[in-house]
Structure 1
């Protein structure tokens, strides 16, 4: 093979080193903080809700709905739907979805910490750390034009999957075990 026709398999992978390392650092830092921080047990900022659990369940549900909008608008942007959804819909649904997760994560870390006594809660805690780590990696990989073409679909898919897992281990559990409350 000549140099002109041979492509290195690692083309663009070096562009992902910093985003992936930063994402891993965020995930580990959240897990360590959640484990070593003494949970307060007090709910923070439940304005408009009867308690912390309904607040977390509904905000996470809102984030999940917006994440579905993210997937549909991403498919549209990549020409996979046959309809055009403006890129601004993708950007703003992502911003709003992320914003809805922040008070939930803050409450989880501040009031509850990373717990491992109950399998569902352990999975939820680990998914929360993973979600913020992979989200960080995705946001840092966005401006990397030399990253492989699979980067954003894979990181976006992992972010979406983590959020679905978070919803299943929290909101879905809450709605089915406790009931639908505001």
Structure 2
């Protein structure tokens, strides 16, 4: 069957059905991370590599901060590409490529942060801040999975990607606020 013939058929990877499948898969990722984080015995050790920082915590705080800055770039380029900025000029050709690459770099920057949180600290709930951070961390990677799967869904409703992307950015900011911002606001902490 030709590619066009396949596109005309409706299936579980089209439209709302595809979005529902992507959301279900994302929810499974989030729950799996939460269960692992809760049942895994935290090591309490830093990763072996701290890339020129004085310790694991400052490195994580800065990597997450760079991830948020790239997330802001993502939001701006997405809004520009979709004509949602108060700019009359059409988004330049580099905006789409910049959007994709900034998202990939932001994701890669968050991986050591998330890995350390999950492996070394686990899913912790000893106070409101850490409970919100743990929940947002699991949800972030679940929503990330949902977004990546949604990008491959045909006939996706126009509101779906902005909604999922907005949720992803919101969770990233929540993670940053409950860890990096909190860390930077503590008196006497090393910034590097």
How large is the Cα RMSD of the aligned pairs?
1.3
Q: Which of these residues, 14, 19, 24, is aligned with residue 22 of structure 2?
A: 19
Instruction: Tell me how far 1:47 sits from its aligned partner.
Output: 2.5
Is 1:181 aligned to 2:191, yes or no? yes
Instruction: Tell me how far 1:137 sits from its aligned partner.
Output: 0.2
Is 1:58 aligned to 2:34, yes or no? no
Q: How big is each residue's C-alpha offset from its partner over 1:107-131, in whole Å with a ceiling of 9 and x where there is no partner? A: 0011100001111001000000000
Residues in 1 aligned to 2:142 and 2:27: alpha-carbon distance in whole angstroms: 6
Structure 1 runs (4+) deviating above 3 angstroms are none
Is 1:97 aligned to 2:101, yes or no? no
Q: Which runs of 5+ in 2 are unaligned?
A: 1-13
Q: Which runs of 5+ in 1 are unaligned?
A: 1-10
Q: How big is each residue's C-alpha offset from its partner over 1:121-144, in whole Å with a ceiling of 9 and x where there is no partner? A: 010000000000011001100121
Q: Which moved more, 1:170-179 or 1:126-135?
A: 170-179
SS at match of 1:22: helix
Instruction: Tell me how far 1:180 sits from its aligned partner.
Output: 5.3
SS at match of 1:72: helix
Instruction: Tell me how far 1:149 sits from its aligned partner.
Output: 1.1
Structure-2 residue corresponding to 1:124 = 133
State the TM-score, normalizing by the size of structure 2.
0.86
Count residues in correspondence.
Answer: 172
State the TM-score, normalizing by the size of structure 1.
0.91
